[in-house]
């Protein structure tokens, strides 16, 4: 077993896995990774199960040092500068932190969260079936709080044979965040058109519990208080000030504000990566469409191992390119024998 020492970190770095399920009726929220797709990508690269526990790194810088053996890591999610002992670590690739070396991560350049998965996983005692940290509820393992400078994580030791890997990815074009309207959209009347037809910006006061949106006021003709009922990850509540709140991973399990819509599960990770001040729009889709997108996302995650290849395997090989002579008849400018034509009459 190796150890990963937290040298420096920001306030939004914690251990997260898929989360806790099956107990929301008892008031226990799911928590878990804000962007489950990026979590799965990092874990698959590291050779773990897709939703194993990893380090969720917020928008700030962080650094980690390997002790008691080498540690192999994989980074996915928000783009940021990263290097191991001065050698760059690319997003969606693995890298080896040798004993005593330090991985340094810069602030997020786009997006909010990156995921650092460790080959062999993170050791901890599951709390209600999960290592995920929920600081408000004092839950999680190995620490029931965000990581702090000096924390030490017990992690898997890297295998002896080097096998750095990369994952083929694609950048999806910007698109509206898709929602299913309801369950209390009938409380809003024409204000639903305001919600769907307006541009919103993510407030700087957002956190893992909820993303507050800033924009035009969404009016409640019938008032903003209802009998508290169940809420889920992605529920969009509208309090009395008319500014929607999208409930995120650490949301409460019930709420007393009307919910105008719910972000579909396939778009939750993309929405979670929206930085403070980012402009977004919403698009209403049917329940059937949301279910179809959820199945497609599950299929994508199941297929991640097939998208992995040796790191550098797709890089340009100059020697092979020269041998291929793709230009046809190759010449050498300093060797006249390769290009000078014979004069008329020469044998």
Domains recognised in the chain with CATH numbers: 2-167 (no CATH), 177-285 (2.40.100.10)
66 prior amide bond cis, ω within 30 = no
CA 331 to chain centre: 49
Q: How far apart are CA 287 and CA 241, in angstroms?
A: 28
Q: Compute CA distances 75 → 103, 174, 220, 248, 332, whole Å.
A: 11, 23, 43, 22, 44
Q: What is the pLDDT along the chain (347 residues), one digit of tens a residue?
A: 999 999 999 999 999 999 999 989 889 999 999 999 999 999 999 999 999 999 999 999 999 999 999 999 999 999 999 999 999 999 999 999 999 999 999 999 989 999 999 999 999 999 999 999 999 999 999 999 999 999 999 999 998 777 788 998 766 778 999 999 999 999 999 999 999 999 999 999 999 999 999 999 999 887 777 888 999 999 999 999 999 999 999 999 998 899 999 999 999 999 999 999 999 999 999 999 999 999 999 999 999 999 999 987 544 444 444 444 544 445 455 555 544 544 444 44
The H-assigned helical ranges of 110-248 are: 191-197
For residue 125, the model assigns a pLDDT of 96
Q: How far apart are CA 130 and CA 151, in angstroms?
A: 20
The pair of three-digit structure tokens given for residue 78, joined into one six-digit string: 């928000």
Per the CB < 8 A criterion, the answer to whether 73 and 125 are in contact is: no
Per the CB < 8 A criterion, the answer to whether 148 and 8 are in contact is: no
The pair of three-digit structure tokens given for residue 286, joined into one six-digit string: 């049917």
CA 45 to chain centre: 14
For residue 67, the model assigns a pLDDT of 97
Stated pTM of the model: 0.87
Residue 89: helix, strand or coil by DSSP? coil
The pair of three-digit structure tokens given for residue 247, joined into one six-digit string: 């409930």
Q: How far apart are CA 331 and CA 275, in angstroms?
A: 53
Q: How far apart are CA 218 and CA 244, in angstroms?
A: 8
- CB atoms closer than 10 angstroms to residue 226: 16
For the chain, report the end-to-end CA distance as a whole number of angstroms: 76
Pairing of strands 165-167, 308-310: antiparallel
For residue 174, the model assigns a pLDDT of 81
Q: Compute CA distances 118 → 293, 315, 325, whole Å.
A: 29, 25, 42
Q: How far apart are CA 101 and CA 86, in angstroms?
A: 10
Q: How far apart are CA 49 and CA 259, in angstroms?
A: 34
For residue 155, the model assigns a pLDDT of 97
What stretches of 58-136 adopt beta strand conformation (E)?
62-67, 71-77, 82-84, 87-88, 93-97, 102-105, 114-118
């Amino acid at each position: 077993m190796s150890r990963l020492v937290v040298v420096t970190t920001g306030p939004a770095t914690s251990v997260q896995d898929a989360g806790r399920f099956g107990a929301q009726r008892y008031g226990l929220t799911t928590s878990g990774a804000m962007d489950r797709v990026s979590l799965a990508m990092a874990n698959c690269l590291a050779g773990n199960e897709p939703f194993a526990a990893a380090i969720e790194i917020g928008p700030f810088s962080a650094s980690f040092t390997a002790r008691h053996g080498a540690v192999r890591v994989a980074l996915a999610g928000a783009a940021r500068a990263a290097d191991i002992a001065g050698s760059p670590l690319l997003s969606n690739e693995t890298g080896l932190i040798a004993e005593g070396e330090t991985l340094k991560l810069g602030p997020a350049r786009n997006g909010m969260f990156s995921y650092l998965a460790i080959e062999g996983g993170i050791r901890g005692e599951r709390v209600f079936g999960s290592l995920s940290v929920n600081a408000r509820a004092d839950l999680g393992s190995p620490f029931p709080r965000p990581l702090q400078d000096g924390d030490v994580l017990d992690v898997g030791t890297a295998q002896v044979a080097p096998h750095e890997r990369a994952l083929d990815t694609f950048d999806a074009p910007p698109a509206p965040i898709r929602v299913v309207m309801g369950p209390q959209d009938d409380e809003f009347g024409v204000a639903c058109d305001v919600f769907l037809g307006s541009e919103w910006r993510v407030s700087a006061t957002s956190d893992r519990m909820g993303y507050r949106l800033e924009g035009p006021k969404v009016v409640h003709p019938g008032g903003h208080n209802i009998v508290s009922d169940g809420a889920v990850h992605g529920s969009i509540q509208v309090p009395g000030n008319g500014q929607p709140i999208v409930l995120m991973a650490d949301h409460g399990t019930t709420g007393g504000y009307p919910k105008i819509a719910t972000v579909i599960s396939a778009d939750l990770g993309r929405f979670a990566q929206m930085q403070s001040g980012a402009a977004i729009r919403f698009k209403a889709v049917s329940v059937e469409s949301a279910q179809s997108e959820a199945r497609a996302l599950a299929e994508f995650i199941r297929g991640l191992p097939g998208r992995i290849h040796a790191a550098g395997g797709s890089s340009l090989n100059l020697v092979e390119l020269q041998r291929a002579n793709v230009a046809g008849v190759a010449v050498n400018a300093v060797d006249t024998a390769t290009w000078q034509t014979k004069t008329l009459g020469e044998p």
